[in-house]
Structure 1
Amino acid sequence: MQLANIVNDERSTSQLIARLQEVKDQLAAREEELLHAMVTRRHLHNTIQELKGNIRVFCRIRPSSEDESAFDDSNLAIDRKGEFAGRRLEITPPDAPKKYDFTFDRVFAKKDSQKHVFDEVSLLVQSALDGYKVCIFTYGQTGSGKTYTMLGGKGEERGLIPRSMEQIFASQSLLESKGLKVSITATLLEIYNEDIRDLLASSPGAKIEYKIKHDDDGNTRVTNLCEVEVFSAAEVESLMQQANAARAVAKTNMNDRSSRSHMVMRLCLDGVNEAGEPIHGALNLVDLAGSERLSRTGATGDRLKEAQAINKSLSSLGDVIFALASKEKHIPFRNSKLTYLLKNSLGGDCKTLMLVNVSPSLESAQETICSLRFAAKVNSCALKSAPSSKTKK
């Protein structure tokens, strides 16, 4: 009887060990399947982004203010049906002999919320989390809503930057719960009259030499620039408040407090993703200075010099995007500090979004047309360079 019990115990132990090994094998198989799914998800996400185009252009019409004469919906209309629904904008300026129409990857109406805009942009933020380099620009005349789109306000009024931070830190938290580490480093600078100014320095206006350095691995750093490792969206918000207080602004005919510089917020994401792959992503969020013609700003003296520097660098940015889209051998990155700074985050498998903001004001109709023409030119180049969806037989 005792011997039988021993034999039965041994059988039970053997069966238990066998069952435990079976569970371990099943777990290992599931982990391998999950790893494969993560790699596939990243690949498919990038394929979708490339099919949409590595250079994309969105347009956003800001809401009308109470004290301005604005276009009505019939004279500033977005297609709602058909092939170009949500993509084509038709504008009829006052006393114009004809209508103008422009087609983009996406057009946001006056009523579209900050969330609507970010829902489209969040796919590019995911690309940065996947290890790609991403640039998102807000472009347009002073008063067209660029800074609102980027920063916004409180609650549902939050703009692209705070919403991007929430997405990034949520992803970081998820990775950390799985034992994976991703470090996030922030820099904030402005390019003012073709000079770099560190917006996080204790004395932003101090005469410090900043040099842009590119290495062979595709990394970029600026000498003497403050680099801050950040751990929460609230911490980034505090840095943004510090940067905005230090940014160069002045009064022009277009705005009582007009940004006279390009602000670049850069997040470097380094670590390991869910698939166990090393990542070195970068998210560049760029609030460009106003693109208006000199005749409208009433600029003289220092303001004129600022406006000339702004327009020259915006023109250089356009030249670089056109050259990249046309796959030219020489890309004129060195023609401005802005494009040289972003050299490693433009072209190749990098993702670029230009979000042109336009005003509904009748008074700004010609500036709106100029902004839309520039953005449409960028978009037409991007469409020519986008990979074909047709498969070879």
Structure 2
Amino acid sequence: MESKLRDLEEREKKIYKNIMELKGTIRVFCRVRPLLLVDGVGTEGTIISYPTSMEARHRGIDLVQSGQKHSFTFDRVFDDKALQKDVFEEISDLVRNALDGHKVCIFAYGQTGSGKTYTMMGGPKPEDKGLIPHSLEHIFKTSHESEKLGWEYKMQASMLEIYNETIRDLLSTNPSYALDMFWSRGKGHVSAITTVDVCNIEEILSLLQQATRNRFVGSTKMNERSSRSHFVFSLKIFGENKINEQQVQGVLNVIDLAGSQRVSSTLAIGDRLKETQAINRSLSALAAVISALAKKKKHVPYRNSKLTYILEPYLSGDSKVLMFVNISPNPSSGGESLCSLRFAAKVNACEIGIPRVRVDNRRIFYL
């Protein structure tokens, strides 16, 4: 029976792998947040609609700006009625890939106040739980279920933010201390970051709360409590099967990007102005990287910002990458929403390689 279970597990992994490769190594999901009271408009004021044809259902989105309709198609589109659990269900297979030994990166992009942090971290109610808590619960649950098949897992968590092009360790006793980057084999790495061994979901959720308290936030015209930095959560996973001597090393990176916003619309001054300018520069650097990848250029400008430094191992290799583009339906945000959708369309056109497996003395490492 144990032998049959192991055979089924291997077949299941191959099916997951094939499904992910068919879907593409870099995918884009779009999520539209509901209209809120602070938006000051009724439902009739929305600029967003969804195609009703079977071909475009749950994949298409239309935005009307200055009387002109702009249509986009992504791997999945969630309307303003989608629940957090519905969104996670669509990415659960991808999260599982990290446990199987793949590099997985999920990041949220969009203007300030479009719902990125809610999507990633969630809200105060249990049903509002975000993708990061959902993913962690899924990983720990699946890892425990795999114990009967001979698997043992060790996991390490780290959390950082990029604030005004400075890297801060959110789990450090001195989070204001700036971290350096170093280069190894042509890739940028963060030096001396705090990594914590985690054994259960309670430990890691406690670390998330600590990181959230240490993160820079501020008030802008567009968002009363706006994230002023890029938040990077990383979970390294080391698995070993005592029965067949397989070893896997995977990583799950989840990134809550700071919101893009035109300086004129935020009315930012002082520190808020400097933050907004730094955020926009780093997001412009990300756009330049995506554009170079989409055009298959030989030179990709990863070194233009700390954000693209950190994303390079995922965008330049054989990782599984998923981008959430978060959209506000507020008519006053039409210009920003259109820019976000256009950027997401460029990301959707990128190809970054196919995951490969290296076999070494009966030990299998998914790279």
TM-score above 0.5? yes
Give the Cα separation in 2 of the matches to 1:98 and 1:71. 19
Q: Counterpart of 1:115?
A: 85
Q: TM-score, normalised by structure 2?
A: 0.88
Letter in 2 for 1:259: S
Pairing 1:331–2:295 present: no
Give the Cα separation in 2 of the matches to 1:70 and 1:105. 29
Pairing 1:247–2:215 present: yes
Pairing 1:356–2:330 present: no
Pairing 1:205–2:176 present: yes
Shift of 1:308: 1.7
Taking only aligned residues, the RMSD between alpha carbons, in angstroms, comes to: 2.3
* Aligned counterpart for 2:112 among listed residues 123, 137, 142: 142
Q: Which has the higher helix share?
A: 1
> Secondary structure of the residue that 2:9 maps to in structure 1?
helix
Q: Counterpart of 1:270?
A: 238
> Is the 2:46–2:330 Cα contact (8 Å) retained in structure 1?
no
1:92-122 Cα offsets, whole Å, 9 max, x none, are: 23xx231111111111011010011101111
Q: Counterpart of 2:364?
A: none
Q: Counterpart of 2:357?
A: none
Give the Cα separation in 2 of the matches to 1:84 and 1:66. 30
Give the Cα separation in 2 of the matches to 1:176 and 1:125. 18
Letter in 2 for 1:356: V
Q: Counterpart of 2:56?
A: 84
> Secondary structure of the residue that 1:348 maps to in structure 2?
coil
Q: Counterpart of 2:229?
A: 261
Aligned sequence identity (%): 48
Between stretches 222-231 and 271-280, larger displacement belongs to 271-280
Pairing 1:284–2:256 present: no
Shift of 1:325: 4.1
> Is the 1:213–1:223 Cα contact (8 Å) retained in structure 2?
no
* Aligned counterpart for 1:104 among listed residues 74, 78, 83: 74
> Is the 2:217–2:225 Cα contact (8 Å) retained in structure 1?
yes
> Secondary structure of the residue that 1:138 maps to in structure 2?
strand
Letter in 1 for 2:138: Q
> Secondary structure of the residue that 1:99 maps to in structure 2?
strand
Structure 2 residue runs of 5 or longer lacking an equivalent are 355-367
Q: Counterpart of 2:8?
A: 37
**Number of residue-to-residue matches in the alignment:** 351
Shift of 1:316: 1.7
Q: TM-score, normalised by structure 1?
A: 0.83
> Is the 1:78–1:89 Cα contact (8 Å) retained in structure 2?
yes
> Is the 1:52–1:386 Cα contact (8 Å) retained in structure 2?
no
> Is the 1:325–1:385 Cα contact (8 Å) retained in structure 2?
no
Structure 1 residue runs of 5 or longer lacking an equivalent are 1-26, 388-393
> Is the 2:294–2:346 Cα contact (8 Å) retained in structure 1?
no
Q: Counterpart of 2:164?
A: 193
Q: Counterpart of 1:130?
A: 100
> Is the 2:46–2:329 Cα contact (8 Å) retained in structure 1?
no
Q: Counterpart of 1:317?
A: 286
Give the Cα separation in 2 of the matches to 1:170 and 1:296. 44
Between stretches 160-169 and 117-126, larger displacement belongs to 117-126
> Is the 1:36–1:275 Cα contact (8 Å) retained in structure 2?
no
Shift of 1:152: 0.8
Letter in 1 for 2:97: S
> Secondary structure of the residue that 1:196 maps to in structure 2?
strand
* Aligned counterpart for 1:342 among listed residues 291, 304, 311: 311
Give the Cα separation in 2 of the matches to 1:232 and 1:73. 45
Q: Counterpart of 1:23?
A: none
Q: Counterpart of 1:163?
A: 134
Q: Counterpart of 2:145?
A: 174
> Is the 1:212–1:341 Cα contact (8 Å) retained in structure 2?
no
Query: Rg: which structure is higher?
Result: 1
> Secondary structure of the residue that 2:68 maps to in structure 1?
coil
> Is the 1:50–1:386 Cα contact (8 Å) retained in structure 2?
no
Letter in 1 for 2:129: R
Change (3 A) 1:128 1:325: farther
Letter in 1 for 2:344: A
> Is the 1:261–1:310 Cα contact (8 Å) retained in structure 2?
yes
